[in-house]
Amino acid sequence: MSGKGFGQRQPTKIDKLVESAVRYCQQRQPEALDQTFDNLPVKLNQQVVTGILAAFQGDIDSLSWLCGYFASEINSTSDNQKPRHSIAELSKLLITSGMKPFGDFAPYPGCRIVILNTDKFESLPEEVKTIVQQAFNVTEQSGEEAQRINDALLQELTVT
């Protein structure tokens, strides 16, 4: 009888999914991430994303790449060869400036980023805000309008 793993917690299905997703991000494999996310229910997808974010706390490059992926800027492995990804670069700038993805800002399909924490954004250095405003069409919306857009995007992303 082998004592291998005795007394140690065994990895759960979520642990294994997160481990795979983290590896796909590090290897810049959007098709593999698509397969993972397309075959899971929304609740499990949310848990996997939470696990990925926790795993990448110190890895700004992978985290900003993931933002580009979620904003539909990186759809295939060949997209990794493109010289510049504006959403990924902007995400990297925001992260290095102290903003947290999916907390202070969120990437959305259609190569967009939504600033969720406007107070934190306003406290960024002027040069960072200027870069964002020059690179993107910045629009302000009411809370109700933002919620309507979020609901529409969620409806679009939800697989039944």
Q: Give the Cβ contact number of residue 66 at 10 Å.
A: 28
Residue-level pLDDT at 28: 95
Q: Look at residue 116 and tell me if it is in a domain.
A: yes
Mutual orientation of helices 30-38 and 42-55 as an angle, nearest 10°? 140
Domain count, the chain: 1
pLDDT higher at 46 or 144: 46
> Could you tell me if residue 137 is inside a domain?
yes
Is 37 contained in some domain? yes
pLDDT in tens, 48-88: 999 999 999 989 999 999 999 999 888 889 888 877 768 89
Model pLDDT for residues 2-13, shown as the tens digit of each residue: 455 677 788 889
Show the domain range for 99: 13-157
| Residue 6 in domain | no
* Mean pLDDT, rounded, of the chain: 84
Within-domain flag for 66: yes
pTM attached to this predicted model: 0.79
Q: CA 157 from chain center: how many Å? A: 14
- Of residues 23 and 158, more confidently modeled: 23
Q: What is the rounded CA–CA span in Å between residue 112 and residue 1?
A: 55
In a domain, 29, yes or no: yes
Reduced 3-state DSSP string for 42-68: HHHHHHHHHHHHHHCCCCHHHHHHHHH
